[in-house]
Amino acid sequence: MNILILGSGGREHTFAWKITQSPLCKSLYVAPGNSGTAQIATNVNISVTDFEAIKSLVLEKGIEMVVVGPEDPLVQGIHDYFLNDEALKHIAVIGPEKAAAELEGSKEFAKEFMYRHNIPTAAYQSFNALNVEEGYAFLETLSPPYVLKADGLAAGKGVLILNDLQEAKTELKNMLVDAKFGDASSKVVIEEFLDGIELSCFVLTDGKNYKILPTAKDYKRIGEGDTGLNTGGMGAVSPVPFATSEFLNKIEERIVKPTISGLQKDNLPYKGFVFIGLIKVGDDPKVIEYNVRMGDPETEVVLPRLKNDLVEIFQAIANQTLDNIDINIDERTATTVMLVSGGYPEAYGKGKEISGLEAITGSIPFHAGAKLENGKIVTSGGRVMAITSFGNDYEEALKKSYQNIEKLHFDKMYYRKDIGFDL
Ligand code: AMP
Ligand code: GLY
C-alpha cells in the first residue's frame, strides 16, 4: 500500500526507515520530510497542518495509510477531518481523534482524566486570569520547588519549575494575565513537585487492546549533568536499566490498564501511540504527562528494537485487531546521541554543510533538522541528527555512537558527551 508520514524530524526518519523495511509498503511519502527521508521515500513539501493539501496528496497518490508524527495535527483534529470526509474516511490514520488528543493538548484535561481514573500523578489545582489570587494562595500552601504548567501546547516550553515563592507568583501572573505563552497559558496547572528519576513508557492502542513497547529515557537539558535550558531531547537510551520487571508490572497495572480503559469509558477514540512520561518516586511510578505521539529522540531507540513489521502493526491498530499481534523486541540496548546546532535551544545558524556521513559504520544516522540543498546535506534546524547504535549494554552502544560522531562535522556542532551518566 501507499503510505504517508507527516513530520520532518528524527522521529519521522525513523518511522520511514522502519516502514520501508515492510513488504506491505509500496510507495512511501513524507510531508514535509528531511534529507534522511529523501533518501528512502518521496518528500512532499506541505505543512503537517495543511489538511486540504494533505487531502489532495492522499487522493492524488492513492495513499491508504497516514502516520502522524507530531502532536499539532492531532490536537487540531486531523483524524476527525479524515473521518468526516466521504473521500477519506476509509483511510487508516495512525493517531488519536481530537477529543483524545486533548490528553496532550490540555494539561488540565490530562490531570482530570488521571484523577477520574485513579492514575497516580502529582496533586494539582488549575487557575485562570479570573482567580489568579487563589493561585497565589495555593502556592503559599506548597513547599518549593513550585511547578507551573501552561495548559495548552507551548512547544515544550510551557513548564516552569521555580524555587522562590515570589518568583512563582510573578510567573503565574505573567502566564495568566500577561499571556506569557499566548493562549496556551490562559489556564495554568500548579502541581506538587515530584522528586525522582524520569523515564517514558510507550503504548500502542487500537482503542480496545494495547501493547507495551520498550521503555526509554531521554535527556532533555542542553548541558552535561542535566543542566541548562530544556530542549526537545539530546539523547536517549532503551531499555531503561532501572525499570525492573517488578517496576514495569506496576506501570502496567496502575497506569497503562486504567489509561486504556479510561479512554474507552470516556469515549475518547484512540488509534495510535500513547507516550506516558513517568517519574519514579521511591519505588512507585507516577505520571508527569501524556503525549499522544511517539517521543523524539525516544523513537530513534524504541523502533530499532522492534522486530515486528510496523505496517502490519498499524493495520492491526486500524482494524482493532491489535490483540492478534505478538510484539518482538531485540534484547540489545539501543542508544542515540543528538547532534545540535551551536546556540540551540536559543538562536542558531542554519545551512551548514554536514560532512562525514559516508564514514559511519555500525550506527544509524537518523536525520532531523537537515535538508538536501544543491546535492549537499545541510543543517536546517536546532536538532540536526541522531546517531543510534546497538550494544549489549548502554555503555557499549554509546561508545559506538560517540566513535561515529567523531567522524561527523558541521560548523558549531554540539552534543552531550554524558548521555546515560545517571544510569
Ligand atoms: P512536561 O512538559 O509536563 O513533561 O514537563 C516538563 C518537565 O518538567 C518534565 O520532563 C519534568 O522534568 C518536569 N516536571 C513536570 N512536572 C513535574 C512535577 N510535578 N514534579 C517534578 N518535575 C516535573
Ligand atoms: N523527547 C520528548 C518528547 O518527544 O516530547
User: pLDDT tens digits, residue range 168-185?
Assistant: 999 999 888 888 888 888
Kindly give the number of the ligand 2 atom that is closest to the alpha carbon of 218: 1
Helices 310-319 and 10-19 cross at an angle (nearest 10°) of 90
Lowest mean pLDDT among 86-90, 99-103, 225-229: 225-229
pLDDT value, residue 296: 97
Strands of 163-271 (E only): list them. 187-191, 197-205, 210-212, 217-218, 221-223, 227-230, 235-238
- Spatial contact of 2 and 59, defined as CB atoms under 8 Å apart: no
User: pLDDT tens digits, residue range 352-399?
Assistant: 999 999 999 999 999 999 999 999 999 999 999 999 999 999 999 999
Please check whether the domain covering 2-95 is classified as CATH 3.40.50.20: yes
Mutational test site, ligand 1, from 188, 234, 279, 293, max ligand atoms within 8 Å of CB: 279
Lowest mean pLDDT among 113-122, 128-137, 293-302: 128-137
Kindly give the number of the ligand 2 atom that is closest to the alpha carbon of 293: 4
Residue 156 scores a pLDDT above 80: no
- pLDDT, the chain, mean: 96
- Per-residue pLDDT, averaged over 122-133, amounts to 91
Q: Which three cell numbers stand for residue 300?
A: 530513534
Residue 288 near ligand 1, beta carbon < 6 Å: yes
pLDDT band at 146 (very low <50, low <70, confident <90, very high): very high
User: pLDDT tens digits, residue range 60-72?
Assistant: 999 999 999 999 9
Kindly give the number of the ligand 2 atom that is closest to the alpha carbon of 294: 4
Residue 147 near ligand 1, beta carbon < 6 Å: yes
Ligand 2 binding pocket, CB closer than 6 Å = 218, 232-233, 291, 295-296, 298
Query: Which ligand is located closest to the Cα atom of residue 71?
Result: 2
- Does the bond joining 239 to the residue before it have cis omega, within 30 degrees of 0? yes
Distance set, CA 244 to CA 214, 223, 283, 284, 331 (Å): 12, 28, 10, 12, 14
pLDDT value, residue 157: 79
pLDDT band at 158 (very low <50, low <70, confident <90, very high): confident
pLDDT band at 154 (very low <50, low <70, confident <90, very high): confident
Separation of alpha carbons 15 and 213, rounded Å: 15
pLDDT value, residue 42: 98
Any idea where the domains of the chain sit in the sequence?
2-95, 123-191
Residue 198 near ligand 1, beta carbon < 6 Å: yes
The pTM (predicted TM-score) of the whole model is 0.96
Spacing, Cα 262 to ligand 2 middle (Å):
23
Residue owning the nearest CA to atom 5 of ligand 1: 159
Separation of alpha carbons 392 and 384, rounded Å: 27
- Per-residue pLDDT, averaged over 88-112, amounts to 97
Q: Which fold does the domain 123-191 belong to in CATH?
A: Dna Ligase; domain 1 (3.30.1490)
Lowest mean pLDDT among 69-78, 125-134, 149-158, 166-175: 149-158
Query: Which ligand is located closest to the Cα atom of residue 144?
Result: 1
What b/e readout covers 14-31, taking b as 16+ CB neighbours within 10 angstroms?
bbbbbbbebeebeebbbb
Kindly give the number of the ligand 2 atom that is closest to the alpha carbon of 295: 4
User: pLDDT tens digits, residue range 222-276?
Assistant: 999 999 988 999 999 999 999 999 999 999 999 999 999 999 999 999 999 999 9
Separation of alpha carbons 52 and 32, rounded Å: 15
